[in-house]
Amino acid sequence: MKELSFAQHFTLIALNAQESTRLTNSKKVSLRCMAAAVILELYLDNGFSQVGDVLTCERGILENPSISLYQKAVLNIFFSKNETISGTLPQYLTRVVKMSKKQLKIVEDAFVANLKEENALEEIHALLSSDLEFVTAGIEMKEYRSNSESFTRVTESIRAEILEEGPVTDEAILMLWLLRESGSIYDLFSKEELKHVAERIYKLYNDSSLGKTVFPISIHNTVEYAVKNFLKMKKEIMTTPSGSGVAFVFPIIERSQSIFIDTEAYFANKEDRLNDVKDRLERNGHHIKVIREGDIPLIKIDNMLYEAVPHAKVYKFPVHGVRLLKYPLSL
Does position 227 bind another protein by CB under 8 A?
A: no
Largest CA distance in the chain: 70
Q: Which of 118, 123, 170, 254 binds another protein (CB under 8 A)?
A: 170
Does position 234 bind another protein by CB under 8 A?
A: no
Residues, the chain: 331
CA distance 304 to 136: 25
Q: Smaller CB distance to another protein: residue 88 or 157?
A: 157
Q: Smaller CB distance to another protein: residue 99 or 185?
A: 185
DSSP 19: B
- Per-residue contact string for residues 120-159; x = within reach of another protein by CB under 8 A: -----------------------------x--xx--xxxx
Q: Smaller CB distance to another protein: residue 210 or 274?
A: 210
Residues 6+ apart with CB under 8 A from 193: 163, 328, 330
Residue among 327, 12, 305, 1 nearest 157 (CA): 12
Q: Smaller CB distance to another protein: residue 13 or 277?
A: 13
CA distance 146 to 159: 18
Does position 171 bind another protein by CB under 8 A?
A: yes
Q: Nearest approach, Cβ of 1 to another protein (angstroms)? A: 11
End-to-end CA distance of the chain: 27
Q: Smaller CB distance to another protein: residue 16 or 129?
A: 16
- 299 bridge partner residues: 290, 306
Residues near another protein, by CB under 8 A: 3, 44, 149, 152-153, 156-161, 163-172, 210, 330-331
